[in-house]
Amino acid sequence: MTGSISTATIVVWGGFVLAFVLGFVANRANFCTMGAISDIMHMGHWGRMRMWLLAIAVAIIGASVLSGLGLVDLSKSIYPRPRLAWLSALVGGLTFGIGMTLAGGCANKNLLRIGSGSLRSLVVLVFIGISAYMTIKGLFGQWRVDYLDRFAIDLTAHGFKGQDLPTLLAQATGIAPKTALALIAAVLGGGLIAFVFADPRFRGNPTQVATGILIGLVVTAGWYVSGHLGYGENPDTMEMVFFATNTRAAESMSFVAPLAYTLELLMLWTDKSLTMSFGIATALGVMLGAAVWAFANGKFHLEAFASVRDTRDHLIGAVMMGFGGVTALGCTIGQGISGVSTLALGSFLAIGSIVAGSVLTMKYQLWREEDA
Contact present, 216 and 57 (Cβ < 8 Å): yes
CB-based contact 240:317 (threshold 8 Å): no
Query: Is 86 in contact with 153 (CB distance < 8 Å)?
Result: yes
pTM score above 0.85: yes
Arithmetic mean of pLDDT, 152-173: 95
In the predicted structure, residue 4 carries a pLDDT above the cut 70 = no
Which stretches within 204-337 are classed as H helix?
206-224, 257-267, 278-296, 308-327
In the chain, the DSSP E strands lie at: 83-84, 153-154, 231-233, 240-242
- Separation of alpha carbons 148 and 131, rounded Å: 17
At residue 5, the pLDDT reads 59
Q: To the nearest whole percent, how much of the chain has pLDDT over 90?
A: 95
Q: If pLDDT is split at 50, 70 and 90, which confidence band does 372 have?
A: low
Query: Residue 2 pLDDT more than 50?
Result: no
Inform me whether the pLDDT recorded for 213 exceeds 70: yes
Contact between residue 97 and residue 354 where contact means Cβ atoms under 8 Å apart: yes
- Predicted confidence (pLDDT) per residue in 276-302, tens digit: 999 999 999 999 999 999 999 999 999
Average pLDDT over residues 116-136: 97
Q: How confident is the model at residue 235 (pLDDT cuts 50, 70, 90)?
A: confident
C-alpha–C-alpha distance, residues 8 and 3, integer Å = 9
Q: Report how far residue 315's alpha carbon sits from residue 120's, in angstroms, rounded to the nearest whole number.
A: 10
pLDDT at 1: 37
Q: How far is CA 338 from the centre of its chain?
A: 6
Q: pLDDT band at 371, cuts 50/70/90? A: confident
Mean pLDDT of 123-128: 98
* Cα 22 from Cα 34, distance rounded (Å): 17
**CA–CA separation, 183 vs 179, rounded Å?**
6
The confidence score (pLDDT) of residue 344 equals 98
Question: pLDDT grade, residue 43 (50/70/90)?
Answer: very high
Beta carbons within 10 angstroms of residue 2's beta carbon: 7
Average pLDDT, the chain: 96
From CA 5, how far away is CA 301, in angstroms rounded? Answer: 38
- In order of 2, 184, 321, the CA distances from 91 in angstroms are 43, 27, 12
